[in-house]
Amino acid sequence: MQDIRFVYNNALTTEQLSSYSTQAFAAQRTLEDGTGKGNDFLGWLTLPEDIQTQLSDIKDTAALLRQKCDYIVCIGIGGSYLGAKAVIDALSSSFTWLEDNKPHILYAGQNIGEDYLFELQTLLKDKRFGIICISKSGTTTEPAIAFRLLKTQLEKQTGKDAARELIVCITDAKKGALRTLATEEGYKTFVIEDNIGGRFSVLSPVGLLPIACAGFDIQRLIEGAARENSLCSSAVDFAQNPAAQYAAARYDMYQQQGKKVELLANFNPKLHNISEWWKQLYGESEGKDGKALFPASVDFTTDLHSMGQYIQEGERLLFETVISVLGQQHELSIPANKANLDGLNFIAGKRVDEVNKMAELGTMLAHVDGGVPNLKIEIPEISEYYLGELIYFFEYACGVSGYMLGVNPFNQPGVEAYKKNMFALLGKPGYEQQTAEIQKRLSR
Is the CB of 137 or the CB of 345 nearer to ligand PA5? 137
Specify the stretch interacting with ligand PA5 by CB under 6 A; choose among 192-200, 254-262, 310-318, 323-331. Answer: 192-200
DSSP letter string, 210-273: HHHHTT--HHHHHHHHHHHHHHHSTTS-GGG-HHHHHHHHHHHHHHTS---EEEEEESSGGGHH
Residue of 36, 79, 103, 207 interacting with ligand PA5 (CB under 6 A): 79
Residue of 198, 207, 242, 399 interacting with ligand PA5 (CB under 6 A): 198
For the CB of residue 221, give the shortest distance to ligand PA5 in the complex, in Å.
19
String marking each residue 396-415 x if it binds ligand PA5 according to CB under 6 A: ----------------x---
Does 80 engage in binding with ligand PA5 (CB under 6 A)?
A: yes
For the CB of residue 218, give the shortest distance to ligand PA5 in the complex, in Å.
20
Is the CB of 138 or the CB of 242 nearer to ligand PA5? 138
CA angle 86–269–70, rounded 5-degree value: 50
- For residue 158, whether the previous peptide bond is cis, meaning omega lies within 30 degrees of 0, is no
Is the CB of 48 or the CB of 143 nearer to ligand PA5? 143
CB closest to ligand PA5, residue no: 198
Pairing of strands 374-379, 5-7: antiparallel
Is the CB of 81 or the CB of 129 nearer to ligand PA5? 81
Residue of 228, 284, 320, 384 interacting with ligand PA5 (CB under 6 A): 284
- The dihedrals phi and psi of 294, each to the nearest 5 degrees, come to -85, 120
284 is catalytic: yes
CA distances from 283 to 273, 287, 402, 410 (A): 15, 5, 10, 11
CA dihedral sign of residues 424, 427, 428, 429? positive
Pairing of strands 104-108, 261-266: unpaired
Does 271 engage in binding with ligand PA5 (CB under 6 A)?
A: no
CA distance 203 to 218: 9
Does 89 engage in binding with ligand PA5 (CB under 6 A)?
A: no
Select which of 142, 262, 284, 320 is catalytic: 284
Beta strands in 38-175 (DSSP E): 71-75, 104-108, 129-135, 167-171
For the CB of residue 65, give the shortest distance to ligand PA5 in the complex, in Å.
20
CA distances from 159 to 66, 151, 184, 219, 344 (A): 19, 11, 17, 35, 60
Subset of residues 25 to 54 that bind ligand PA5, contact rule: CB under 6 A:
none
Are the CB atoms for 169 and 178 separated by under 8 Å?
yes
List the one residue out of 202, 106, 201, 97 whose CA is nearest residue 146: 106
Residue of 197, 205, 224, 402 interacting with ligand PA5 (CB under 6 A): 197
CA distances from 2 to 88, 95, 190, 364, 379 (A): 23, 29, 34, 23, 9
Specify the stretch interacting with ligand PA5 by CB under 6 A; choose among 22-30, 73-81, 179-187, 243-251. Answer: 73-81
Number of H-type helices and E-type strands within the chain: 18, 10
330 is catalytic: no
Are the CB atoms for 160 and 124 separated by under 8 Å?
no
Select which of 49, 419, 420, 437 is catalytic: 419
Is the CB of 260 or the CB of 279 nearer to ligand PA5? 279
The percent of the chain in helix, strand and coil, each rounded to the nearest 5, is 55, 15, 30
Select which of 15, 305, 315, 440 is catalytic: 305
49 is catalytic: no
Is the CB of 136 or the CB of 259 nearer to ligand PA5? 136
Query: Is 120 strand, coil or helix?
Result: helix
String marking each residue 119-138 x if it binds ligand PA5 according to CB under 6 A: ----------------xxx-
Subset of residues 133 to 172 that bind ligand PA5, contact rule: CB under 6 A:
135-137, 140, 143
Is the CB of 205 or the CB of 373 nearer to ligand PA5? 205
For the CB of residue 279, give the shortest distance to ligand PA5 in the complex, in Å.
11
Is the CB of 82 or the CB of 225 nearer to ligand PA5? 82
Does 259 engage in binding with ligand PA5 (CB under 6 A)?
A: no
CA distance 215 to 140: 28
Residues that bind ligand PA5 (CB under 6 A): 77-80, 135-137, 140, 143, 197-199, 284, 412
Catalytic residues: 284, 305, 419
